[in-house]
Amino acid sequence: MTARTIWIDGELVGWDEATVHVTSFGLHYGIGFFEGIRCHSTPDGPAIFRLTDHLRRLQRSAAVYGFDLPRPVEEMAHACKLVVSANGLTDCYLRPLVFLGDGANPFTARLRTVVIATANGPLTGPPKQDGVRARISSFQRMSPNSIPSAAKATGQYLNSFLAQTEALSCGYDEAIMLNDSGRVADGWAHNVFIVAGGALVTSPVGAGGLPGITRDSIMTLAAEAGVAVRVQDLVRSDLYLADECFLTGTSAGVVPVTSVDGRGIGAEKPGPLTVSLNDRLTEITHGIVDAYPQWREYVG
């Protein structure tokens, strides 16, 4: 099913009518905030994974830049459900986007609000569950005193774009970025985890990563399974020497990393903890088990 309508500033309009003026400041200066959210088919109908948590992150992203969301979280949640049901979608990707529109100048222009639903999302390529080859980027992750990584802001993806296009042009699948202290900061669109000595370890958000919703879910599920979960600074050799390494993000899910900079990780195939956490997350997102009902927000 292809989406035919988009929600913009409070109403559903036809796909081709959802246009903005070329003078919109969001387009010129990258001033905008967005989310990527997945909706899954479940035995009880389509359920949006952690919808409210995503929309609260959108609210926090805007707050970092001194904005209030122009529409309350409850209205945005309604809009997300509406674009799924109005387009007859089940398994799909939702893109709420708040951006600076046109006006006399960027300091007085008003924010516009959009929710787009698509079957797959913009970043979906071939399945990555067999594992990916990652590269440490030569581009550093932006520092928190230049562009705060706690916000999911449109302009910050220039940094991600540089890193990922470099990785692809060098024959790798995914870029991992370090911060200006040489610590692992984030993937270009994912959080980074390793398994070392039986523990699950990820970098602190303060190292330059986005506070990922998938990251938080995986840490919760690992702790529930009795795995020690640690948040600590990582350097690139921690990745090289890990027993397992994986990336997490809404778009790609849990992505096993089989090599970093050409050095094989563990057995160079998806590791057992990576696979079991991915399986557990999938059965929860798809409502195959009753666990974590608060994470499934039904389109209804």
DSSP bridge pairs for 96: 115
User: Given the DSSP bridges, would you call strands 11-14 and 47-49 parallel, antiparallel or unpaired?
Assistant: unpaired
Q: Does 248 bind ligand PMP (CB under 6 A)?
A: yes
Identify residues 25-54 at the interface with ligand PMP (CB under 6 A). 36
117 binds ligand PMP (CB under 6 A): no
Of 96, 208, 249, 270, which one interacts with ligand PMP (CB under 6 A)?
Answer: 249
CA dist 55 and 35 (Å) reads 7
Residue 255 interacting with ligand PMP (CB under 6 A):
no
Torsion angle (degrees, nearest 10) of CA 266, 270, 275, 278 = 120
Q: Annotate each residue in 183-212 with x if it binds ligand PMP (CB under 6 A) or - if it does not, as one string.
A: ---xx-xxx-----------------xx-x
Task: Mention every residue, 6+ apart, whose C-beta is less than 8 A from residue 147.
Answer: 153, 155, 156, 159
Based on the shown chain and the rule CB under 6 A, indicate whether residue 250 belongs to the binding site for ligand PMP. Answer: yes
Rounded to the nearest whole angstrom, what is the least distance from the CB of residue 22 to ligand PMP in the complex? 26
The reply on whether position 113 binds ligand PMP by CB under 6 A is no
Phi, psi of 202 (to 5 degrees): -140, 155
Q: How far is the CB of 270 from ligand PMP (least distance, A)?
A: 19
Catalytic annotation, residues: 152
DSSP string, 135-169: EE-SSPPPPTTTS-TTS-BGGGHHHHHHHHHHHHH
CB of 57 to ligand PMP, least distance (A): 7
Q: Which alpha helices (DSSP H) does the chain contain, by range?
A: 25-29, 51-64, 73-86, 157-169, 213-224, 236-240, 272-285
Asked if 214 is part of the footprint of ligand PMP (rule: CB under 6 A), the reply reads yes
Instruction: State the Cα angle at 85 between 84 and 90, rounded to 5°.
Output: 60
Q: How far is the CB of 249 from ligand PMP (least distance, A)?
A: 4
In the complex with ligand PMP, which residue's Cβ is closer, 128 or 190? 190
Give how many residues touch ligand PMP by CB under 6 A: 17
Contact positions vs ligand PMP (CB under 6 A): 36, 152, 160, 186-187, 189-191, 209-210, 212-215, 248-250
